Amino acid sequence: MATQVFRRDGVTVTVTGIPAVSICPYCGNAVLDWAVAQQVEELIHPLFQWAETHTLPKPIVTITFPEPQALAA
């Protein structure tokens, strides 16, 4: 599982629990499947768009995906 922090124009979005293909043992960077990375981008993009068109203070958003549950046998 991986955590990524995205920042744009004063908005911060932290996404945790992202399924990772692997984690680099040296630097700790996560390697994501391309389809997963695209889905995360599609999830956070509207938050950045909202901040461009509203006058409320820039939000700090945390999104947490739960760990997948093992299927019962």
User: 20 or 69: which carries more pLDDT confidence?
Assistant: 20
Instruction: Compute the distance between CA of residue 54 and CA of residue 36 in angstroms, rounded to an integer.
Output: 29
Q: Token pair of 20, please?
A: 């990772």
Residue 48 has pLDDT above 80, yes or no: yes
Sequence-separated (6 or more) residues with CB below 8 Å from residue 67: 1, 17
Q: Token pair of 55, please?
A: 């006058």
Residue 73, pLDDT score: 58
Q: Using one digit for the tens of pLDDT, what is the confidence trace for 18-46?
A: 999 998 899 988 999 999 999 999 999 99
pTM confidence score: 0.81
In degrees, rounded to 5, the angle at the alpha carbon of residue 33 between the alpha carbons of residues 31 and 34 is: 115
